[in-house]
Amino acid sequence: MRASLIQIGVDEGESVDSRRRRVAALVREQSGADLVVLPELWTTGAFAYEEFATEAEPLEGSTYEVMAKAARDAGVWLHAGSIPERDPEGPLYNTSLVFSPSGELAAAYRKIHRFGFDKGEAVLMGAGEELVTVRLPGAGTTLGVATCYDLRFPELFRGLVDAGAEVLVVPAGWPERRRSHWTLLAQARAVENQAFVLACGTAGTHAGVPQAGHSIVVDPWGEVLGEAGSGEEVLTVEFDAGKVATTREQFPALKDRVLGLGVPRR
């Protein structure tokens, strides 16, 4: 399986429409990949809170149309990162879009864990309520979809694994000041779930917040198969998705989980 993670910089001097066109061209250049992944909220920047409402779009809005065509032109599965989605009957959501090689929407995931501690995204966005997986028949594997701050909550990833996920995809707008957590948590989620983790971040600085970059691909044993630098780049890694099954068979730790113990008695 060949995956390309496109680590995009969000320049405040570049219009959203221009960035859509530029990113679509980058997606088309990945023809031959099985899966292409974009970062979180790359149209606005994950920390550009004042832009969420003004740039929010319906699910099938401009980004949807441009990314669907790019996926179809490249003939790839495309995790198009996330957008600020405007639900006509509810709040805004931080919503990820996954397209098939034919340009059809295969899945939409509304981010469950919102970052901000009672400000920013935590109050401007609604919370998703559903876990999302996507089967990739040609690659013989299943994606589990999460977004940025979700990476800190292992129970979400356990749920994805229970739903059949073998490749965990995490677009993010992760800040540089917590980059060590980014790498550590990506490896932890891979090891504890015996799954591949593909974590794609943003580059540069947006809304005054330096970004971590360092998109990363980790295998089920926690080995880093590839890692980007801090600037804009495309990280392409080839791996055997079948390694998930062999790892879980050779070291069947997931079978030893003890769940539902409840609250300890006092």
Query: Could you give the CA distance from residue 259 to residue 257 in angstroms, rounded to a whole number?
Result: 6
Which residue is it, tokens 């099954």? 245
CA atoms in the 13 A half-sphere facing the CB of 49: 12
User: Which is catalytic among the residues 51, 57, 85, 111?
Assistant: 111
Q: Are 62 and 20 in contact (CB under 8 A)?
A: yes
CA-CA-CA-CA torsion sign (61, 30, 245, 179) = negative
Does the annotation mark 148 as catalytic? Answer: yes
User: Which is catalytic among the residues 85, 148, 166, 200?
Assistant: 148
Checking DSSP bridges between strand 205-206 and strand 196-200, what pairing results, if any?
unpaired
Does the annotation mark 111 as catalytic? Answer: yes
Classify residue 136 as exposed, middle or buried by CB count within 10 Å of its CB (0-12, 13-18, 19+). buried
Query: Could you give the CA distance from residue 246 to residue 233 in angstroms, rounded to a whole number?
Result: 32
Does the annotation mark 57 as catalytic? Answer: no
β-pair partners for 205? 210
Q: Are 251 and 194 in contact (CB under 8 A)?
A: yes
Query: Could you give the CA distance from residue 129 to residue 119 in angstroms, rounded to a whole number?
Result: 20
Give the catalytic positions in this structure.
40, 111, 148
